[in-house]
């Protein structure tokens, strides 16, 4: 994949993930798949905080989609914070058998965000491509 293609797909996935963060986290935690996205015991205050943080990040990912190279640090923050957040949740889900379903829910989702954005984020423009 050449540089321009990478940038094009990066823009597309920033929009997709941004919209999911804004509009998808709350429904997934509460209506669509609570067992795969919510954690026990259910804590409404915690869930509001997570939804607020991810909705805010989603707005900034949409902004970054217009010019990803001007927002490299935000994109790399999204990659690495997703790895850290997903990693912590993975360990917790492995330790607590009641939460193992989260390994194929929100844990997998966070690792997917990290891998996709990490792969698509251009490192350096190679003029020979």
**pLDDT for position 129:** 46
At residue 40, the pLDDT reads 85
Q: Which two tokens stand for residue 97?
A: 């058998």
pLDDT score, position 126: 55
Return the number of other C-beta atoms located less than 10 Å from residue 63's C-beta: 14
Mean pLDDT by 10 residues, the chain (129 residues): 93 98 95 89 90 98 97 98 97 94 95 98 66
Rounded to two decimals, the pTM is 0.91
Angle, to 10 degrees, between the axis of helix 44-66 and the axis of helix 72-95? 150
Q: What is the pLDDT of residue 23?
A: 97
- Sign of the dihedral defined by the CA atoms of residues 32, 33, 39, 41, in that order: positive
């Amino acid at each position: 994949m050449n540089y321009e293609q990478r940038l094009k797909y990066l823009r597309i996935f920033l929009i997709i993930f941004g919209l999911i963060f804004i509009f998808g986290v709350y429904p997934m935690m509460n209506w669509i798949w609570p067992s795969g996205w919510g954690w026990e015991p259910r804590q409404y205050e915690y869930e509001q905080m997570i939804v607020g943080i991810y909705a805010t990040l989603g707005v900034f990912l949409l902004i970054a989609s217009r010019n990803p190279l001007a927002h490299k640090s935000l994109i790399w923050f999204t990659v690495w914070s997703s790895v850290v957040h997903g990693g912590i949740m993975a360990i917790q889900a492995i330790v607590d058998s009641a939460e193992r379903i989260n390994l194929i829910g929100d844990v997998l989702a966070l690792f997917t965000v990290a891998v996709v954005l990490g792969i698509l984020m251009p490192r350096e423009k190679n003029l020979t491509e």
